Amino acid sequence: MTKKRILLCGEYSSLNSGYANWSRNLLNGLNDLNKYELAELACFCTVNETKNKKHKWKVYANSVSPSDERYKNYKSNNNNTYGQWRFDAVCLDFKPDIVIDFRDPWMFDYQSFSPLRKYYKWIIMPPVDSVPQRNEWITIFNNADMIIPYTEWAKNSLSKYKHLKVFDKISPAGVDYNIFKPQKLNKTDFGLPKDSFVIGSVMRNQKRKLIPALFELISKIDNGILYLHTTYPELHGWDIPSLLLEFNVANKVYFTYRCRICKEYHASKYIGVNASCKFCNNPTSMFATTSNGIADDDLSKIYNLFDVYLQYAVCEGFGMPQIEASSCGIPVFSVDYSAMSEVVRSVDGYPVPLSNLQYEMESHAERAYPDISKTLDLIDQYRNLSDNEKENLKLKTRENTINNYNWKNIVNVWSEAIDSMDISTKVNWNDPNKYEGSENIKLDYTLNNFDFVNTICCDLLNEPNLMKTQMIQHMLHSLDHGAVKEGSSFVPYSKKRAADNLERYSQHKEMVDHIRTTTGKINEDYIIAANES
C-alpha cells in the first residue's frame, strides 16, 4: 500500500514557539510510525535557515528575509506569513493526500478556498477557547473533512453544530515530562525571599490574561509573593509598572530578568525595562521574552520555585503552562471556564469559581472573571493541608499529567484520524481535466447578489464548493451591505469589485492548473531546497 502523503502547515518545527513545538512533536511522532510521507510548510523560516539542518521530512520554507526582492510581496498580506503565498506551489510539488493545520482559524482559512482544494483532504484542529464561536469560524470549519478537538469541552461545543465533522477523540497538548519534572531548589539561589510562599504564573502579557486580578489577589495575602513569568513591555499588553503602584504590590511581585549579553537569569522585583545585570554588570537585563527567551530546562526550574500555580485568564484554548507546572508536581489553580475547567480537573487541581461571565465585543464570546476571595479560600485550603497530604497531592498531580498529556498518545490519536480518512473520494492529482479559464464570458449584472456570485463560482470557475467558504460568504455579506471594512473605515463594495476579485481567482486557478497538468515543476529556491533536504 502506498503511504499517505501528509502536508503539515504551521510554524517551523525547529523554532521554539508553542505552535512550533506542536509541529515538531507531531511530525517526529508520525515519522517514527514509518507509514506516512511527510512534509511541512514551515512558517517564520527562510530557505537559508533550513539549510545545513538534517530534517527527517521535506521542509518548504515560507518566509524571506527583508533584503530579498520578494519581501515586499510577502509582507503585503498578513496571510502570506501564515503560508498563503506559497501554499499552492508547495501542494503542486508535494501533492499531499491530506493537509493538516492546528493554528487559529484566520491563519488557515486560505486552505479552504485554494483552487487545489479538491485534490486534498483537510484536517484541522482549531483552539476553541470560548463560546459561542464566531459564525465566520464555524463557516471555515464547515469546509474541513475532519476537525480534531483539543479538549472534551471543545468537542462538546463544536458537536452542537451538527454539520461539522468532529472527530470523536481529542488531542490535547503534550508536555515533555523528562524536562518538566520536580526538583528540589533553594528559592534564595534565584533571588526569592527565604521561606516565602510563592504563587506562580507563566503567561504572555496580553489582554486575555488577568494580570490586574493577580495583583489584587496578592495584595490580599499577607505572607506570600507572586512570581509572574511574563513579558514587558508589550505593544498590546498590560502596563505592569502602573498596576504595581495602583495595587501597592511592588514589594510582593517577582519577575524573571534575563541578560541579553551573558544569558543568565534571576528573579527580581520590578527594576525597570533595562536593568543592570547582576552577573556581568551590563545594563542589559530585561524581562524574558520570545526573542530573549529562556530554555525549557530553566523554565522548569522556575516552575519548581512555585508552591502553587495559578492560571488567571478570561479564556484558554488550552493553556500550556498549567500542564508544564503540573508536570513539575506543582498544584494547579485555574479559572473554571473553557479548556481550563478540563485541564485543572484532569490534574486534580483546584477549579476557581467565577465571579461573572461577560460578552466581549471583539470576540463576540463570553469571557470569564474569577472570584478573587474564593481563590484565596482555596489557596488557604491547600496551605492548611499537612506536609504529607501536600506531598501526596504533588505526586498525584505529576502522575495525572504524565497519563493525560504525553505526546505518544496524542500522535496515536492523529494517526488514527489520518488512517480513518478515506482519500479515495478526493480527486487524483493526475486528473487530466484542466481548467481553461473564463475569458470572454459576459456577466449578468441584473442578477441578485447571490445568483450573481453563484453563477460565477459554479458555471465559470467550476468551483461550486467555493460558495460555502468564508471568502465567498464574506463577499456576499459585503455585496448585501454595499460596503466592506478596509482598515478603520467602510468603503463601497459592488458587483464589479466582486467580479474583479473572482477574475483574479480565475487567473490564478488557470496558472495553477496549467502547472499541475503539465510539468508540475516550479523553479523556486524553497521548492528546490525542500527536495534536496
Which residues contact Zn ion (rule: CB under 5 A)? 259, 261-262, 277, 279-280
CB 261 → Zn ion: shortest distance, Å? 5
> Which residue from 422, 460, 507, 497 is spatially nearest to 146, judged by alpha carbons?
422
CB 260 → Zn ion: shortest distance, Å? 8
CB 283 → Zn ion: shortest distance, Å? 9
How far apart, in whole angstroms, are the C-alpha atoms of residue 104 and residue 125?
9
- Which residue number, 114 or 285, has a Cβ lying nearer to Zn ion? 285
CB 425 → Zn ion: shortest distance, Å? 59
Secondary element (H or E) of residue 87: helix 84-94
How far apart, in whole angstroms, are the C-alpha atoms of residue 50 and residue 533?
8
Cross-strand bridge partners of residue 5? 37
CB 272 → Zn ion: shortest distance, Å? 15
Residue 459 C-alpha cell reads as 458555471
Convert 257-314 into a string of H (helix), E (strand) and C (coil). Answer: EEECCCCCEEEECCCCCCECCCCCCCCCEEECCCCCCCCHHHHHHHHCCCCEEEECEC
CB 257 → Zn ion: shortest distance, Å? 10
- Which residue number, 131 or 262, has a Cβ lying nearer to Zn ion? 262
How far apart, in whole angstroms, are the C-alpha atoms of residue 112 and residue 5?
18
Cross-strand bridge partners of residue 9? 41, 101
Place of cell 478570561: 314
- Which residue number, 17 or 284, has a Cβ lying nearer to Zn ion? 284
The dihedral through the CA atoms of 170, 175, 177, 183 has a sign that is negative
How far apart, in whole angstroms, are the C-alpha atoms of residue 190 and residue 177?
22
- Which residue number, 124 or 277, has a Cβ lying nearer to Zn ion? 277
- Which residue number, 282 or 381, has a Cβ lying nearer to Zn ion? 282
- Which residue number, 274 or 409, has a Cβ lying nearer to Zn ion? 274
Q: Please give the single-letter amino acid code of residue 500.
A: D
CB 281 → Zn ion: shortest distance, Å? 7
CB 277 → Zn ion: shortest distance, Å? 3
- Which residue number, 279 or 359, has a Cβ lying nearer to Zn ion? 279
How far apart, in whole angstroms, are the C-alpha atoms of residue 170 and residue 414?
9
How far apart, in whole angstroms, are the C-alpha atoms of residue 123 and residue 146?
5
- Which residue number, 260 or 474, has a Cβ lying nearer to Zn ion? 260
